[in-house]
Amino acid sequence: MADGVVEGYEIVQVEETNRFVARLDGGVEAGYLEYELRGQGLFNKVLAIPHTVVKPEFGGRGIASELASEAFSWARKIGATVDPICPFIAKYIERNPVYQDLFASKQ
C-alpha cells in the first residue's frame, strides 16, 4: 500500500480494489480514484483511470486533485503511462504540464 497525508485527508492505495481512497480522520471515505493497470513487464504498462469520485459534501477541497497526484506518482514509480478515461483526469493532465509525459496517447 502507498500512503500519504493531505490536509487532514489520508490518501491510501487499496490494491485489492484498484483504488486510491481519500479518508478523513476516523476512516470516513471522502472519495476515490478507480484504476486498472494494463500491460506487463517493464514496457507497455498503462494505468487506465475510468472514474474519480468525491462525495458532494467533500467537494471543492482539492481531494480529486490529490487523488490524481497520488495516482500519477505511482504511475511514474512503476513506469506506466496514463490513459485518462475519466474527464476530470484528462483535464487535470491538460492543466498540469508536469504530468504531460504520462499521457498514454502522447507516447
In the chain, where the domains are located: 33-106
pTM score of the predicted model: 0.86
User: φ and ψ at 70, to 5 degrees?
Assistant: -65, -45
- Taking the domain 33-106, which CATH number applies? 3.40.630.30
Q: Give the pLDDT confidence score for residue 46 in this predicted structure.
A: 94
pLDDT digits 0-9 by tens, 36-90: 999 876 668 999 999 999 999 999 989 999 999 999 999 999 999 999 999 999 9
What 3-state DSSP class applies to 82?
A: strand
pLDDT digits 0-9 by tens, 32-47: 999 999 987 666 899 9
pLDDT band of residue 18 (cuts 50, 70, 90) is very high
Q: Which long-range contacts (CB under 8 A, 24 or more apart) does 11-17 make?
A: 11/66, 11/67, 11/70, 13/70, 13/74
- DSSP H or E stretch at residue 9: strand 9-14
Q: Give the pLDDT confidence score for residue 7 in this predicted structure.
A: 54
